[in-house]
Chains A and B, each alone.
Chain A
Amino acid sequence: MAWVVELNGVDPSDGLAKTKVFSLGAGYAFTDSTFAPTGLVSWRSPSQKVDVSKDGGVTLTADAGQIVISNLPADIGSAGPWDVLRTWAWHGRRANLYYTPDTWANRTLIATGTLQQPVAPLNANGSSVTSTLQFPLRDPRSPLSAPLQPTKYLGNNAAGTGVEGDSDLKNKPKPVLYGVVSNIPGVLVCKEKNVWQLADKSAGVLCAREGGAAFTAGTARGTLASLLSTTPTAGTYDTYAGSEGTFVRLCGTPQYPVTFDAYEGATSADRTHAQIWKRIRTERCDNVAGDITAASVTATDALAANEVGFWKNDETTRLDLINEVLTSLSGYEVLGFDSKWSIAQLVAPSGTTVLDFLTLTPTSTLKTKSRPIAGLTMVRPGFAPEGCPPYRVNVNWGKNYTVMSRADFVGGVAVQAPRLIDKFGLEWRTEKADNTAIWNPATSTGPYPQAPQLTVDTGYQPGADNLTCPHAATEATRLIALYSAMPGQFQLDFIPAVTDRILPGDVVSVTYGQMGLSGGPLFRVLQAGWVLDEKGPQATLVVGFQV
């Protein structure tokens, strides 16, 4: 048996992608002829962390990880055996830690991370030699820091031809649309012909407005050329949706702000958080359908089945958009040990535990999934940094992408419905839920007069009446119940077995004599840190949302 790290890089000598393997302790020749030389000193996983910020949104961060490889030269002044690895290209590639019981083919993936180029602390004082290569590890979400939209406008329109915009649009990203959105400004890509682009892919147009007044839908053109060559009938707008993107042409030059309602996704069932997350992952983040755990999408759809929408027309990253979707869901994503991404909503723990933690005594009986607690610390959750529970959760919904002043409405305020003025005058509409046992703002009573309120920005759209959002209200009620109960949160240390591959989102139980843990309450794993060194594997969990 052996612990083996596998580093994926590119050898500059021939430009080929290759792997290097190193084992902990003595070099290990597997019975299927794969040899892993000695060299692995330690592995610290870049553990992903699910938390709730003090403002109210679910956050996904990660502690930095590191791989240390021994690079001890034969004597002072000699080259290290692995000096050559400093010249390899590692950045952004995967490193995997395996446990191998016998053959390489039977290895088990224990942990993974994204490599950076190594650093090498050298003790060059001439009297002693210590030399290691240290590879900083980032979590698997780090590639999401790439730009969301690599396709930019050329800015080369001339005399009303084309949809690449004038020079003012040059190198600006084309708009990205997921789900259903309201009052987006679009991007004016052809001023001469009053053509706006709403998305860089085929989408539907629900409405076009000028100064809050809706145009009548005109003709859906079959080609972009047809849209550009034909002026819409007065008072209408024409559309084109195809591989070039989604475009709207107005009948004339507007005097007031132009805005649109649009949707992406064939049906409302395609416009849920999970479905949108899946499409962003597969269309924008270099993933394919096989990289997604379908069951997680189904399970999340069952919890959050309502339509949402997101629109981006500025320079941003994949991470920003994914995080916006996950924050809206109050959810998170994790990369499983099967190298597939899963999505989940943050809910109170329930169901079957993956591990049960307990105090080891001379009379304990350990089940197959029982693990003795090596250390336990009660900590405060992120949403209550001072330990004070929130009394209110605000759920923002129905995002208005173009906030309009009264002067922006065509014909002045008098001819517009007050509802529209209110709706388009604010960025968000809000549903709130209170726990008056924490603090009652109406009566100014309660044990926590300084209790904070949390706010979650969501992509939720109005409900069936097109005016209110009952599911945002439901979400506010759910979240205040989840947070204001101040569920216990603990940091827990234990010695993992090889089979203990825990991820954020897993459910565990903790049984301990103190702090209300004697009954073995359930916890949601929020962070799973993992270290391997000469002492063997050690794990540290952050568990929360005790029930």
Chain B
Amino acid sequence: MIKSGVGTPSYATLATWAQVTGAWDSDYPITNLANLRSIRSVAKASGSGVRAFTFILPAAVSLQFLAMLDHNGAAASTVRYRLFSDNNPDPVGNAGAIVHDSGTLSLLPGGANADWPQNHPYVLSAAVTARSCRIDLSSHATAWQIGAFEIAAWWEWTDVETPREFGLNNNDVVAAMPNGITHEMSQWAPRVIKGTRGVVTQTEIHTTALDFQLATGLRNPFVWVWDFNDSTTWPREVVLVHNASLPSPRAVEYPGGRVAFDFEEWLR
């Protein structure tokens, strides 16, 4: 059974980031992780080796989804997430406050694919109330680089229709030149995802779906995961997206309804 959904609501912009082991380039500070809107403002380690760092939220919240976005991990790279109930993410001195330990996870379990931004999703089996987190990355041969980091609750989608639209919004600029020649310039080609969830309770439509549309609007990026259980889909179908439009959910016949989605990859 597929595990599909989006990370929402997001707490990424509220996090305060700090390095624990290893330094970060002052031109690409670790605080850049908090900015999903500018994914190109990456955080970059100051050199090779392992890195450990933490985030602390202003208050404890219900978390179930973490995602390391546009990272440059290698096939053998690993990550470990430890979530804490308080603001002291110290696994030795404050081990009692650990509310979740992911153990060591492969960053690229489905294999590397250089054609797409490398995104690593992590969906907890159940939500935990947490305020801080320590992240340990294995040694990197050059320098770790991460575009952004999502910290969110998880809106799991059931009954997603398999026949969905998934492709590229090809924005190539074609200019007509003299003598019938055309000139193409390669431009951005974000992925586009459209589909429908077929059987959704009207309660979910009236609460989570509406809250999601209000929180994300058209200009706030979030992470969409097609199937967390199948890591071979991650390279292409774990995408930082925004709503290209906000189709109104349809409460067709009580107690069911349909929720359509219209996403476009967020590349900025």
Question: Main secondary structure on chain A at its contact with chain B?
Answer: loop
Question: Across the interface, do A366 and B29 meet the contact criterion of CB distance under 8 Å?
Answer: no
List, in ascending order, chain A residues with CB within 8 A of B38's CB.
366
CB distance from B148 to the nearest CB of A (A): 12
Interface residue? B200 (CB, 8 A): no
Task: Identify which of residues 1-59 in chain B touch chain A, using a CB-to-CB cut-off of 8 Å.
Answer: 26-29, 32, 38, 40-42, 44
B267 and A366 within 8 A (CB): no
Point out which of A364, A366, A369, A370 has the most chain B C-beta atoms below 10 A from its C-beta.
A366
Q: Which chain B residues lie closer than 8 Å to A366 at the CB level?
A: 38, 40-42
A368 is contacted by which of B27, B145, B188, B268 (Cβ under 8 Å)?
A: B27
How far is B27's CA from A367's CA once the two chains are assembled, in angstroms?
Answer: 5
Whether B267 and A367, one on each chain, are in contact in the complex, defined by CB atoms closer than 8 angstroms, is no
Across-interface contacts of B29 in A (CB, < 8 A): 368
Asked whether A365 lies within 8 Å of B267 as measured between CB atoms, the reply is no
For A361, A362, A364, A369, the residue with the greatest tally of chain B CB atoms inside 10 Å of its CB is A362
Across the interface, A365 reaches (CB within 8 A) one of B42, B117, B188, namely B42
Check A368 against B40 for contact (C-beta < 8 Å).
no
Kindly report which residue of chain A lies nearest to residue B28, judged by CB atoms: A367
Interface size on B, residues (CB 8 A): 15
Residue of A whose beta carbon sits closest to that of B43: A365
- By beta carbon, the residue of chain A nearest B265 is A362
A370 and B267 alpha carbons, distance in the complex (Å): 16
Query: How many inter-chain contacts with C-beta < 8 Å in the A-B complex?
Result: 28
| Cα distance, A365 to B117, chains bound together (Å) | 13
Interface members, chain B 115-147 (any A CB < 8 Å): 117, 145
Question: Which chain B residue shows the least CB distance to A358?
Answer: B40
Question: In the complex the two chains form, what is the Cα distance from A360 to B190 in whole Å?
Answer: 14
| A122–chain B nearest beta-carbon distance, Å | 34
CA of A369 to CA of B27 in the docked complex: distance in angstroms? 8
State the CA gap A365–B145 with chains docked (Å): 9
Residue of A nearest to B147 (CB): A365
Q: B239: shortest Cβ distance to chain A, in Å? A: 12
**A545 CB to nearest B CB, Å:** 25
Task: Name the B residues within 8 Å of A360 (CB-CB).
Answer: 40, 268
Contact with B along A151-168 (1 / 0, CB 8 A): 000000000000000000
Q: Which of A334-389 contact B (CB under 8 A)?
A: 360-362, 364-370, 372
Contact partners of A368 in chain B: CB under 8 A: 26-29, 32, 41
B31 closest partner in A (C-beta): A368
Chain A nearest CB, measured from B131 CB (Å): 21
Tell me the bound Cα distance from A250 to B26 in angstroms.
Answer: 70
B40 touches A364 (CB 8 A): yes
* Interface contacts beyond A360-B268, A365-B42: sample of 18 additional A-B pairs, CB < 8 Å, sorted by A: A362-B117, A362-B267, A364-B40, A365-B44, A365-B145, A366-B38, A366-B40, A366-B41, A366-B42, A368-B26, A368-B27, A368-B28, A368-B29, A368-B41, A369-B27, A370-B41, A372-B40, A372-B268
17 contacts between A and B (CB under 8 A): A361-B188, A362-B188, A362-B267, A364-B40, A365-B28, A365-B40, A365-B42, A365-B145, A366-B42, A367-B27, A367-B28, A368-B29, A368-B32, A368-B41, A369-B27, A372-B40, A372-B268
The 10 closest A-B pairs by CB, nearest first: A367-B27, A366-B41, A366-B40, A364-B40, A362-B267, A365-B42, A368-B27, A360-B40, A362-B188, A367-B28
Binding site for A on B (CB under 8 A): 26-29, 32, 38, 40-42, 44, 117, 145, 188, 267-268
